[in-house]
A and B are shown apart, each in its own frame.
Chain A
């Protein structure tokens, strides 16, 4: 009974803290989206749905939504494919396995700003390492920041570099929960490596992958730091996503209402996508299916 009360108290405490930390700013942001203000010291003026109508009519908003989806999906696919591949290698016994496993998660420890600076210097079109390598082959350096596709590619590349170790770690943990007897039985039955992967490994990783894709999807869609540090949404807004657009509107253009409206729509969009995703890939059923 006493323990129950403690549990209830801890639960209520947690909910209250979360309510204040997450719910408070969220509600404030939603409230702000119905007002217009030229700065944080300006008196906000009620505009109803005006900010929402304005952003919906802005091609930049739709461009940012599409850019966010393209960057997120590309990065997640690459991270998952690479993550599984690396985890499969690291799951095998070999000399130095522990050291290699430790090294493989180093990029995950790097502060994002450091990773982005390193990438910028490597790919700098005037001084960068890649420029020197290309020059040694008699080739000129491409200006990655000037082309929409290469600028997007750079954002995806850096995101994959930083976050693949997270996928590797999760998948590696998942691989170790798959009973080895299943592989032995498959080998006895003459199943090829591909068939073992397809019929044993992948189903065994289902629950892990559902969570990994969900988390990476949320984090990538809300990604701000990498894009801001590398391209600031350029060139020509081709790497602008909803988080950078919300920031730009609120903190550079000081159109606080429009910034809040972009953030609110982004939040609602993501919430709906997550609900649909979980409907198709329920986590509990995945566990039971194993």
Chain B
């Protein structure tokens, strides 16, 4: 039997004075409001075009450049650009989820070859050959796959060796030309106290992560061991290649003794911070170290130098590298996407490079002569270093290579070496497990064979 209050909502048994009808009406109104706000992008798309841009450069400066560019483009052309920023580790999953949901992003920044090959093989990318061909690019910067350029590069992430010029001068050391000289310098600069390494000779990590894959193998790449023959047979543990790799492991084991503790947990941040805080005399990284020096310890800004990783004999040098670029996905708005990208390159490419002024080392060679780019005060301040980095790109004796690009052609197989952390675990087997160098190489080669 209902009483007269039965139409009111009750809270802990007492009526709170809202009738069911009113509640339903209010809820319906709220639902309509929420639905309306969620549908806003769709409404916007009706009035013009909305492009979605997945950005993995999450530094505040880089995001600000994209936001400004998007606002300028919208006010000029009426096209809305939604910027969705996510770290590189999350952006691949987001991009794939969007493709699977039938609503791929229109544009994205991308920095790993495996992701690019998967998108290209799946037919999800627009070729950018025409856009790329307009300019001259540094070595290995604008590589092609199946005859097309699939990304518009914006930087090199060359891994150079950073050293302390002041400490070199203090000890009378020279920039090393061979592995042995590098080891001697590291030994000479190592300081121990009370059983602890007060200042490490160098930091070259061995953690099972992308930082180690990217940064730790410059010296190995300088000695050019082949991982595969021309038919994708694994040759890392055969003949000269096995000997070179084992020799590199012996070097690493000696260098490891000069490193501070914690190499198994060192990643990108620590590679920079250990050098910037004076905890090590050498580190391996891209230009972002210089940005970190200026941000956290400007006193070091005239006390650092760089050199490429030497080989064992002094004949050749190498730089491990990664690339970064813009990709455009195939959507119904492809024409508008390419139009925006072309406009962005013409109008905001330099601003974009300035947002990480040393880390975004230009891959497009004309940029080095562009007065807009050169006028950045920090680029001017570190001009000698930047020119040295440019010189490495132009010097044919400096090999530019990376683990994920070994093999006779661009392929997903070497990317698996990277993903499975086969090479970092080879270092761990050597220095943490104490395996012989030959066994470490054999174990790594067997794992690579399993990839197929």
Interface residues of A (CB under 8 A from B): 38-42, 120, 124-127, 131, 135, 138-143, 145-146, 231-237, 251-254
Contacts and interface: CB of A to CB of B under 8 A. Distances in A.
Nearest to B419: A253
Given A138-B194, A140-B195, A236-B428, A41 B124 contact: yes
A125 B261 contact: yes
B261 A143 contact: yes
A117 B384 CA distance: 38
Contact of A145 (B119, B124, B264, B425): B264
A105 B209 CA distance: 35
Interface in B82-133: 93, 96-97, 99-100, 118-119, 122, 124
Given A143-B261, A146-B261, A251 B429 contact: no
B209 A38 contact: no
A126 B97 CA distance: 40
Contact of A141 (B99, B196, B207, B263): B196
B76 interface: no
Given A41-B99, A236-B428, A253-B419, A126 B262 contact: yes
> Which of A126, A127, A234 is the most central at the interface, judged by chain B CB atoms within 10 Å of its CB?
A126
Contacts of B433: 236
A73 to B, nearest CB: 25
Interface residues of B, number: 33
Contacts of B119: 41
Query: 7 tightest CB-CB pairs across the interface, nearest first?
Result: A140-B195, A143-B261, A125-B261, A40-B96, A145-B265, A140-B196, A125-B262
B93 A40 contact: yes
Contacts of A41: 96, 99-100, 118-119, 122, 124
B343 to A, nearest CB: 29
B208 interface: yes
Contacts of B257: none
Contacts of A252: 419
Contacts of A139: 194-195
A42 B261 contact: no
21 contacts: A38-B412, A39-B118, A40-B99, A41-B119, A41-B122, A126-B260, A127-B277, A138-B195, A141-B261, A145-B265, A146-B261, A146-B262, A146-B432, A232-B209, A235-B264, A235-B428, A236-B425, A236-B429, A236-B433, A253-B419, A254-B419
A236 B427 CA distance: 10
Contacts of B261: 125-126, 141-143, 146
Contacts of A231: 265
A138 to B, nearest CB: 5
Contacts of A138: 194-195
B260 A125 contact: yes
A84 B264 CA distance: 36
> Which of A38, A39, A145 is the most central at the interface, judged by chain B CB atoms within 10 Å of its CB?
A39
B279 interface: yes
Contacts of B196: 131, 135, 140-141
Nearest to B207: A234
Interface string B247-271: 0000000000000111111000000
A87 to B, nearest CB: 33
B52 interface: no
A125 to B, nearest CB: 4
A55 to B, nearest CB: 13
A126 B96 contact: no
Given A138-B194, A232-B209, A40 B262 contact: no
B338 interface: no
B203 to A, nearest CB: 10
Contacts of A127: 277, 279
Contact of B264 (A39, A126, A140, A146): A146
A253 B416 CA distance: 7
A131 B196 CA distance: 9
B296 to A, nearest CB: 13
B118 A236 contact: no
B194 A135 contact: yes
B274 interface: yes
A142 B196 CA distance: 9
A205 B93 CA distance: 46
A40 B115 CA distance: 11
Given A125-B260, A126-B261, A232-B208, 14 more contacts: A38-B412, A41-B118, A120-B265, A125-B261, A126-B274, A139-B194, A139-B195, A140-B194, A141-B196, A232-B207, A235-B264, A237-B208, A252-B419, A254-B419
Nearest to A141: B196
A221 B328 CA distance: 42
A97 B93 CA distance: 49
B365 interface: no
A125 B119 CA distance: 41
Contact of A253 (B100, B122, B420): B420
A143 B428 CA distance: 14
A146 B264 CA distance: 6
A235 B207 CA distance: 8
A234 B264 contact: yes
Contacts of B277: 127
A113 to B, nearest CB: 14
Contacts of A234: 207-208, 264-265, 428
B446 to A, nearest CB: 13
A236 B97 CA distance: 32
Contacts of A140: 194-196
A125 B194 CA distance: 14
A126 B100 contact: no
Given A131-B196, A139-B195, A126 B412 contact: no
Interface string B151-189: 000000000000000000000000000000000000000
A253 B210 CA distance: 12
A260 to B, nearest CB: 15
A158 to B, nearest CB: 14
B264 A42 contact: no
Contacts of B419: 252-254
B208 A42 contact: no
B332 to A, nearest CB: 18
A230 to B, nearest CB: 8
Contacts of A251: 93
Contacts of A142: 261
B89 to A, nearest CB: 9
Given A125-B262, A135-B194, A143-B262, A233 B96 contact: no
A42 B416 contact: no
Contacts of A253: 416, 419-420
Interface string B416-452: 1001100001001100110000000000000000000
